[in-house]
Amino acid sequence: MRAYLSDRMGAALLMAPLLLFLVLAYAWPFLGVVKWSFTLPTPGLGQYDALLTDDLVQSVFIRTLRIAAVVTVVSVAAAYAITVVWVRGTPAQRLIAEFCILVPFWISVLTRAFGWVALLSNRGLINTWLQAIGFISEPLALVRNEFGVIVGMTHFLIPFAVFPLASAMRSLDDRVLLAARGLGSSRIRTFWTVFVPMTRSGIIGAAMIVFVFSLGFFVTPAILGGGRSVMIAELIYLRIFQSPDWGLGAAISVVLVLFVGALMALLFRYVRPKQLI
């Protein structure tokens, strides 16, 4: 009995500091933000009403969903291609693929967004070269629009899509593939009818992670969108700091959390958390 009590005491003492810290520094202030959404500028549901009627807010929500959907499809497809090589290539191919995945992964989001500005802007690498070879006379508008945002976000999110895909591909039994080949299936048919369906949990996990990340993305759209294709996160920032409308910013945040929470709940009905690492 004494040992049991001291066990419980020990666990409580060890776990309490972090739990207390997060309750005070995260859970409590989040409730404060929820309170803002109901009380600023006037108490009531006015801000949520505005969410449903305000044309600007509506168009930003729709744009965010559209960009997130495109980015999800493109990043998961691209990640799939490079993950196949990372997991199943020759040792040299695997090393190169790993380098190409991990180096961007560890480089800060600002540096990566800046790299795209250097490539895509009017006086950037691509426009300078295309003009030098006489292919175009006026620079192409590659940045400060939705295209730039999609390119930058896809670049940021590919490594995040790689990890669940790699985990699914590693757990796949080679003998199944050999059996399909032995039974006369072509390489391409084996890939589409055996390999891809057997990595389905990785594809779902990767798509969910990318989609959820895209919804709350701030830095890349703010830099590559140049204030023209504003997404939800930037709208929250603008509402807090430029047109002080804290209530609306808070209300959008609450809706975003609920939406992401619902998506996560959906995800965990289909995929176990362990399959995502």
> Which phi and psi angles does 100 have, rounded to 5°?
-70, -25
Q: Which range binds other proteins by CB under 8 A, 39-47, 49-57, 83-91, 197-205?
A: 83-91
Q: Which range binds other proteins by CB under 8 A, 38-46, 55-63, 105-113, 200-208?
A: 105-113
| 115, 196 contact by CB (below 8 A) | no
Using CB under 8 A, which residues numbered 38 to 77 contact other proteins? none
Using CB under 8 A, which residues numbered 177 to 196 contact other proteins? 177-178, 181, 187
Interior CA angle at 268 toward 27 and 24, to 5°? 10
Tell whether residue 232 is a contact of other proteins (CB under 8 A): yes
Q: Which residues are CB-neighbours of 209 under 8 A, at least 6 positions away?
A: 160, 161, 164, 276
Least distance between other proteins and beta carbon 205 (Å): 13
Q: Which range binds other proteins by CB under 8 A, 41-49, 53-61, 198-206, 251-259?
A: 251-259
Three-class DSSP labels, the chain: CHHHHHHHHHHHHHHHHHHHHHHHHHHHHHHHHHHHHHHCCCCCCHHHHHHHHCHHHHHHHHHHHHHHHHHHHHHHHHHHHHHHHHHHCCHHHHHHHHHHHHHHHHCCHHHHHHHHHHHHCCCCHHHHHHHHCCCCCCCCCCCCCHHHHHHHHHHHHHHHHHHHHHHHHHCCCHHHHHHHHHCCCCHHHHHHHHHHHHCHHHHHHHHHHHHHHHHCCCHHHHHHCCCCCCCHHHHHHHHHHCCCCHHHHHHHHHHHHHHHHHHHHHHHHHCCHHHHC
Using CB under 8 A, which residues numbered 190 to 229 contact other proteins? 212, 215-216, 218-219, 222-223
Cβ closest to other proteins, residue 7 vs residue 49: 7
Cβ closest to other proteins, residue 50 vs residue 255: 255
Binding residue (CB under 8 A) for other proteins from 60, 153, 236, 276? 236
Least distance between other proteins and beta carbon 234 (Å): 8
Using CB under 8 A, which residues numbered 130 to 169 contact other proteins? 155, 158-159
Binding residue (CB under 8 A) for other proteins from 38, 48, 114, 160? 114
Binding residue (CB under 8 A) for other proteins from 39, 54, 73, 89? 89
Binding residue (CB under 8 A) for other proteins from 1, 5, 13, 265? 13
Binding residue (CB under 8 A) for other proteins from 5, 42, 106, 135? 106
Applying CB under 8 A, the site for other proteins has a residue count of 90
Tell whether residue 124 is a contact of other proteins (CB under 8 A): yes
Least distance between other proteins and beta carbon 10 (Å): 5
